[in-house]
Structure 1
C-alpha cells in the first residue's frame, strides 16, 4: 500500500513539473504586451515632401495655357499628315504663350462645342477663327480683334453663282455655330433657300463636290484655299457685316488683359504681319 502511495505521489510530482515547464514555455512565446513600440504611428517624414510636390504640381498647372480649337479650318487651323496642329491661329497662340511665359497645350474640339468648353472653364481660351459677335459676347469674353477677312460663297465651276439672287431655291451649307451660320440665317430673310449645317468645314466641301449642297458659305480666307485646292468657284458676300476674329475666354477671365497686351506686342514687333504673309497671303 505504501509503495502504491509513493508511486502515486511521484507520478503527481512528475506531472506538476511537466505542467510548470509547459506553462513557462507558452509565456515565453507570447509577445510582450507592454512593448508598444511596434504600434506607434511612424513619423510622417513625407508630409513636407507631399506638400512640396502638390505646390510644384499647382505651379506647373498655373503655367500651362490650355487652348481649344477646331482644326478643320485651313489656313487658320488644321492637322498636318502627322496629326500636328498647324495654321495661322496655332502660330499666333504659340506667340501669345511665349509673351505670357506659359506652356501652350492645344485641345481638339468641334467648333460648336468651343463656347460650352469656355463656359464650363475646361480650357483657358479659344483660337479657332472665331468672330467676336454680339451674340457670343453674351456668353464669353473676347480679346481685341486680330484679323478680319469677310465671307464668301463657294460653288462648283460647272454651276457658278455670282450674286445673292442665285441662292434662291438652292441648298446652302454652313458650319455649325459659326458666324456664317448666323449670316446665312439673316440672308434667308431676303432670299429663299434651304440651310444645311454640319460641324466640319471640310465635310462641307465634300458635300459641295458630291452635289449634296449647291453652295457653301465660308470665311473668305478659308474659301479661297478650298477654291484653289479643289478647283471650285465663288463670289464675295456683299453684306460684309461680320466682325473680326478674336481670342475667346470664359466670362471674367483675368487672361483677357494679358492677352491683349501680348497681341499689342506681337503686332508692334511685326510678327503678326509675318504670320499673315506666311498663311494668309493671296499669292
Structure 2
C-alpha cells in the first residue's frame, strides 16, 4: 500500500511539473517570442490598408495603415515582422490552418468568419467621414442611375474581390449571375476599366485613391448607394487562428490598437497611407 501511495504522489508531482510547460507550449504569444518572428498574412492589393510601392531603393515594399499596425504589434512583442502575401481568400485560409500567427487585411466581422477565427477589437471604422461600402463605376455609367433599384434593374455586371465582404454585398446588390469575382482588387479595377464589368463593390476608402488615379472613375453617392447602411461590416479587425491559446496574444494586440486609437497614431497611419497610396497609383 505504501508503494502504491508513493507512486501516486510521484505521479501528482510529475503532472504538476509538466502542466505549466504544456500550457506554455500552447501559448501563442510565447511561441512567437520563442521563434522571434510574428508571421502575418495579408493581401497587399487594398490601398490604403496594404499595398505595394517602389521604395527609395527601387525595391517593391508592402506598406499601408494595416502594415504599420502589424509592425507596432511585432515591436510591442519584441520580435521581427514577417509578411506572408496571398490573395484575400488565401489570407483567410492561412489563418484557418494556422500557417500565420494572424491575418490583417481590412477584415470585417462576419458570423461565418467568427466560427473559424478569433478577432481583435476593432481598429478602423468604415463609417462617417471614413467612408462606406459603395460602388465604383465609370463616370459614363454614373450618369445613368439615381437609385440602387435602377441599377439593379439594369442587370449590370458587378465585380468584387472573392471572399470579401464586398463580394457578399455584390450578391445582394444584383442577381448572383451578374456578379464576377476577382482574386485581387487590382484585377477587378482592370476589368472595370476594360468594360468587362460595369461596377465594383468597394470600401470607399480604398476607392478614393483609384478615383484620384483614374479620371474616368467615380464613386456613386452615399445617400442612394450605401450597400451597408446599418454599418454591419464597418469595423476592421485582426483575425487569429481559432482553437489556439490566443488570450495573451490578443491582450497585446488589443492594447496596441487601443493605445494607437487613443493617442492619434492610428489616424496618423491612415492619413499617411492614403497620401502614399494616391501617389503610388499616380506613378503606375
TM tier relative to shorter chain: 0.7 to 0.9
Aligned to 1:69: 42
Deviation readout 1:76-121 (Å, 9 max, x if unpaired): 1111122111111111111121222221111111101112111111
Q: Does 1:100 align with 2:77?
A: yes
Q: Deviations over 1:234-266 (max 9, x none)?
A: 213423242311111001324222211221222
CA distance in structure 2 between the partners assigned to 1:71 and 1:249 by the alignment: 18
Unaligned 5+ segments in structure 2 are: 1-30, 127-131, 279-284
Match of 1:249 in 2: 240
SS of 1:218's partner is strand
Are the equivalent residues in 2 in contact too, given 1:95–1:266 (CA < 8 A)? no
RMSD between aligned alpha carbons? 2.2
Say which of 145, 148, 161 aligns to 1:164. Answer: 148
Q: CA deviation at 1:162?
A: 3.9
Q: Distance in 2 between matches of 1:201 and 1:59?
A: 31
Aligned equivalent of 2:3? none
Deviations 1:189-233 (A, max 9, x none): xx6870000111011011011100010111110111111111211
Structure 1 unaligned runs (5+)?
A: 1-57
Q: Please tell me whether the aligned partners of residues 167 and 193 of structure 1 are also in contact (alpha carbons under 8 angstroms).
A: no
1:114 pairs with 2:98: no
With over 3 angstroms needed to count, the CA separation of the structure-2 counterparts of 1:257 and 1:162, relative to structure 1, is: farther
Which residue does 1:38 correspond to in 2?
Answer: none
Tell me if structure 2 keeps the 8 A contact 1:170–1:193.
no
Matches of 1:172 and 1:59, distance apart in 2:
41
Distance in 1 separating the partners of 2:146 and 2:273: 27
More helix by share: 2
TM-score, normalised to structure 2, is 0.73
2:106/2:236 contact within 8 Å kept: yes
Aligned residue number for residue 7 of structure 2: none
**5 Å matches for 1:100-179?**
100-149=77-126, 150-160=132-142, 161-165=145-149, 166-168=151-153, 169-179=155-165
Q: Which has the larger radius of gyration?
A: 1
TM-score, normalised by the number of residues in structure 1:
0.73
Q: How does 1:217-236 map to 2 (within 5 A)?
A: 217-231=201-215, 232-235=217-220, 236=222
User: SS of 1:66's equivalent?
Assistant: strand
